[in-house]
A and B are shown apart, each in its own frame.
Chain A
Amino acid sequence: MRIPYRPLAIGLVTLAFSALVLARAQAGDRHFFAPVADPIVKEECGSCHLAFAPSMLPARSWQRMMGELDKHFGDNASLDPATAEKITSYLVANAGDAGGQRYSSKLLKGVTPGAAPQRITELPKWVSEHRKVPDWEWCHKEVRTKANCVACHTAAEQGYYEE
């Protein structure tokens, strides 16, 4: 009996490939944080650093941050009141604890209820996800700071945080 190697091999490759695609698609969901879509928010909150995904912090974090932009991590990021108000509504409406944001709540796991953390990079879940990143990587000159997500997550602007 002749074994049909060719069709078998093709079948196997197809199977492996679709498994891969499936795994990637699932990973894609888990690692996806919708990027800022509002042009004003992108301009005003994305010029000094990546415009962080609003779903990475709870609404009260954004409210507090927007109320003290003159003391923004050592910088003065003040805006005129009308612009600030528009940005606050956008961030709050898309915050990690706004209804139906299943995936981002993952990053908010372990945050004390009622707390308004100001740094994504200090969220318990963020810290544990980055536990295994070696010190020399943080000190690399292209990285500069933990908040420079794009240095390691090259697709962060598009919302994807894979390794």
Chain B
Amino acid sequence: MKNMLVVTSGIVAMILSTSTIASPREDLLAQYAAAAKVTSFSAARGQALHTQSSSGGKPDTPSCTTCHGKDTRSAGRALTGKTIEPVAVSVTPTRYTDPAKVEKWFKRNCTEVLGRECTPQEKGDWLTFVIGQ
């Protein structure tokens, strides 16, 4: 009986460790890397994308920082006044663990800010930036 328990908890631990919250993020980065045909991403380019102003999108959302704020570790605010949890993974560890959610918001927000979708390279750079924050 006791052995059974040990084995079961061992299996549970294994399942838990293979699905730690880090791996969906790594999978996403690997996907973006494959699509962009690159082997690594640049946090510096990600930061530039995050803070730059663009005139390609909507006039009231010139930059990612319009909603997510200049400080990645502080909460942001949507134009409707709603608080947005910090984008830095160190502060909001649950972030970027649901690939469908990440893709949905990249699509919406890049279109808002840049007037076009982000490229896999841009997505990978931006993710690398906020994962390191």
Contacts and interface: CB of A to CB of B under 8 A. Distances in A.
Interface in B76-129: 78-82, 108, 111-112
Given A76-B108, A76-B111, A145 B81 contact: yes
Contact of A145 (B58, B80, B108, B111): B80
By secondary structure, the B interface counts as loop
Interface in A124-146: 142-145
Interface size class of A (residues with CB under 8 A): 10 to 19
B63 to A, nearest CB: 17
B4 to A, nearest CB: 35
Nearest to B104: A79
Interface residues of B, number: 9
A143 B111 contact: no
Nearest to B61: A75
B111 A150 contact: no
B48 to A, nearest CB: 25
A15 interface: no
